[in-house]
Amino acid sequence: MTSSADHECCGSHSCHADKPETHDDGQGRRDFLVMTACAVGGVGAASVAWPLVSSMNPAADVLALASTEVDLSKVKEGESITVVWRGKPVFIRHRTAKEIEEARAVALADLKDPQSDEERVKQSTFGGKPLSEWLVMIGVCTHLGCIPLGQKPTEPHGEFDGWFCPCHGSQYDSSGRIRKGPAPKNLEIPPYQFTDASKIKIG
Amino acid sequence: MSHGERTEFKNPVINWIDERLPVFSLMQREYGAFPTPRNFNYLWNFGAISMFMLVTMIATGIFLAMEYTPATDRAFGSVERIMRDVNWGWLLRYLHANGASMFFFAVYIHIFRGMYYGSYKKPRELLWIMGIVILVLMMATGFMGYVLPWGQMSFWGATVITNLFSAIPVVGNSIVTWLIGGFAVDNPTLNRFFALHYLLPFVIVAVVFLHVAALHISGSNNPLGIEPKSAKDTIPFHPYYTSKDLFGLTVFVIFYALIVFFAPNVLGDPDNYIQANPMQTPAHIVPEWYLLPFYAILRSFTLDIHIPFTSIVLLNSKLGGVILMGGAIAMLLLMPWLDRSPVRSAVFRPLYRIAFWLFVVVCLVLGWIGAQHAAEPYITIGQIATALYFSFFLVVLPLLSRFEKTLPLPSSIAEAVLKKD
């Protein structure tokens, strides 16, 4: 902040004799210091906040429970079982020919979340042979996370021969696709593969 | 806290402290001599009653926390142990569980009172907004507290409410996973809810402090909605309103005690005495009564809004419901600017008075709908009530502020009060 420097940089109209030492120069340097200090402080605060935020994400032990194996040999045609995968129920249904036929007869344009039945059971194969009677999906309503009814013969199946969510009345068809009610999406299909014609590994 | 105006206290100990930290002067100024409109009715008790309930909830909660275990395999059992084995545990738990209901009851009356008498209007907008912030914090705290006993309603309530966030486009599912610390509501969720349920009440205390501080800047509104003009319009807070608040509080506490001792489970859901089962959803999920109107609004949105002539969904019913529910709170926040009428009190606003009572009825209808199954005719009634809820704020208030012919205001509080006698 030397006076000679100030005088040099002063334009003809911005310099007044009655004002001591123009602030322009010092102000600019001070602004720079304030801004860099704030930037460094901000980055520092954010980097300290990140571990706190991240600690709330699933921990390693939660992530470790990633796959489940199920033996399907005892599940007869027209029966369903529910297994647990990552803390969520997975519906496995051995569908009847009628159910498959119904699911495939629907025009895609009539669906809220268009998806063909073939697409939904494409992971159900073993040794190149399609096992499309096996429908495997996460049994969690895509509306607000309730578990739809319809796994047992005595439970309501809705108007589409599938599942019915008791919370807000969403109805899923025999392919687990949303047909009626507030849910926006079809029941989710987990990653799975048949390790045998009657054994399945989810996850 | 200026130095010059300090009055001496007779008690030398008090005086010694007050010279160094003028807490006694502050209390004397803000609660002793504090000039308050002379015409409060009993509806003005509910601020003090709410404060009493907040303290009660914190006091009982701290002792419950000493016995409670926030782990999925032990939480339900630890609550039953509190009920059966812990000395006076049943009393603490019933006071706390029903205290939440009483707290909300008092706060809702307090809010409706503010709406009726125009307490949200200038210069009390910020005071009102902080009140709504307190309500939102209470809803979060109440919801998380209800999860802790780990009953069926706890678990499924937590599942439904955390899944609301999945409605957010793109990042919704990641946010839910982050919130609950896993892929389903489980032990990490219960643990963090306990931590937050313990924390939030103290945040509420802080906002209540600001709420009261702002109140002491603007002064209280009153049933006439006109500002005090002279000393004749006001009386000191103590002893007049301390005694009036104490009387109102006593009546309220009698009512509270009747519920705690004679019908402690009347407001609860029997399903919450069944331990949480992640594999089975109860037939009918209902939140606690104080959240029912908002739950009804959430469920009222059943349409998908498409981009015209395409099947691309612009706004699905899930996100729509969440936006509506947030909007219901936002309406309250915006109330000071939606209602431009210069007259505060409904006493002098004949049309607003009718609109207000219809609004109260709409809120009660929404509460009733929130407790019903999602089936007809409840869906349609809920949708109509939701439309009426929003039209009160967005149509009725702006129109009334322009076209309503208000009654003449009295020239002062003292004049109106003395004329009546």
| Predicted ipTM of the assembly | 0.76
* Residue written as token pair 């199946």: A157
Which of the pair, A50 or A197, is modelled with greater confidence?
A50
Residues B17 and B130 in one domain: no
Q: Domain range for residue B16?
A: 1-27
pLDDT band of A181, cuts 50, 70, 90: confident
Assess whether B250 and B299 both reside in one domain. Answer: yes
Helix (H/G/I), strand (E/B), else coil: A1: coil
Its sign, for the CA torsion B241, B245, B246, B251, is positive
Q: Give me the pLDDT at residue B172, please.
A: 87
Domain co-membership, B105 together with B220: yes
Instruction: Compute the nearest-CA separation of B195 from chain A (Å).
Output: 12
Q: Using CB atoms and an 8 Å cut-off, which of residues 119-178 of chain A contact chain B?
A: 140, 143-149, 165-169
Query: Which candidate, B251, B216, B250, B224, places its Cα nearest to that of B38?
Result: B224
Q: What is the model's pLDDT at position B306?
A: 66
Q: Say yes or no: B65 and B3 in one domain.
A: no
Provide the token pair at B291.
Answer: 């959240």
Which of A110, A144, A159 would you mutate first to test chain B, the one with the most B CBs within 10 A? A144
Find, among B35, B7, B38, the residue nearest to B22 by Cα: B7
Query: What CATH number is associated with residue B250?
Result: 1.20.810.10
Asked if B14 and B102 sit in the same domain, the reply is no
Mean pLDDT per block of 10 residues along chain B (421 residues) reads 67 93 90 91 96 97 97 96 96 97 98 97 96 97 96 92 85 90 92 97 97 94 94 92 96 97 94 91 87 91 69 71 92 96 95 97 96 84 95 96 93 87 55
Enumerate the residues of chain A whose CB falls inside 8 A of the CB of residue B279. 82, 84, 89, 147
B69-89 pLDDT per residue, tens: 999 999 999 999 999 999 999
Q: Is the pLDDT score of A174 beyond 80?
A: yes
Task: Please give the structure tokens belonging to residue A10.
Answer: 């002063």
Query: Are B238 and B152 members of one domain?
Result: yes
Same domain, residue pair B146 and B14: no
A182 contact residues in B (CB cutoff 8 A): 299, 301-302, 317-318, 321, 374
pLDDT mean across residues, chain B? 92
The DSSP symbol for B146 reads H
To the nearest whole Å, the CA of A111 is away from the closest chain B CA by: 10
- Contact predicate A91/A187, CB 8 Å: yes
Query: Are residues B390 and B297 both part of a single domain?
Result: yes
Q: Nearest CA of chain A to the CA of B263: how many Å?
A: 28
* Domains of chain B: total: 2
Over the range A128-154, which residues count as b (16 or more CB within 10 Å of their CB) and which as e? eeebbbbbbbbbbbbbbbbbbbbbeee
Q: What is the pLDDT of residue A2?
A: 42
Among residues A91, A189, A172, A93, the alpha carbon closest in space to that of A132 is found at: A93
Q: Are residues B13 and B156 in the same domain?
A: no
The shortest CB-CB distance from A56 to any of B156, B192, B311 is to: B192
Count Cα neighbours of A47 within 13 Å in the Cβ-side half-sphere: 6
Same domain, B1 and B140: no
Task: For residue B235, give the H/E element and its range.
Answer: strand B234-236
- The CA distances from residue A176 to A169, A171, B328, in Å, are 14, 9, 33
CA-based nearest distance A79→chain B, Å: 17
Is the minimum CB–CB distance between B199 and chain A shorter than 8 Å?
Answer: no
Chain A residues touching B318 at Cβ < 8 A: 143-144, 182-184
Residue B256 shares a structural domain with residue B376: yes
Element at B163 (helix H, strand E)? helix B152-163
* B55 & B101 share domain: yes
Residues on chain B touching A84 (C-beta within 8 angstroms): 278-279
Phi, psi (degrees; rounded to nearest 5) at B123: -95, 30
